[in-house]
Amino acid sequence: MSTTIEVFRPPYGRLLPTHALSRYRVVIDDREVARLKDGDAHVEHVDPGSHRVEVRVSGSRSPELWLDLADEEPVRVVVQPARSILSIGYRRRNSALDLQVA
């Protein structure tokens, strides 16, 4: 019995150069599982239950996203640069990236 968590980093081209060349480090349950470039996705097989997803880049990170998954209940998470001017301007450690369930 298992399910999947897919983490997707949409391509941004030249519109948002912040972290454009950096790889986003995907961490699920305190374990780094992937490094994503623009347009990349990673699918991680996990057991049903609670899981913590976080993405890190250049000393910054996303807020933690907690998922409660049932058996065979796949979920897609999209990671992108924060849209808030405060987050971008001040580079708050836990707000440089946004995670959203798609």
Structural domain of 68:
3-101
Question: Tens digits of per-residue pLDDT, 35-75?
Answer: 999 899 999 999 999 999 999 988 888 999 999 999 999 99
Number of folded domains in the chain?
Answer: 1
- pTM summary value: 0.83
According to the model, what pLDDT value does residue 89 have? Answer: 47
Name 79's Cβ contacts closer than 8 Å, sequence gap at least 6. Answer: 7, 8, 9, 24, 26, 36, 55, 62, 97, 98, 99
Q: Residue 17: which CATH number?
A: 2.60.40
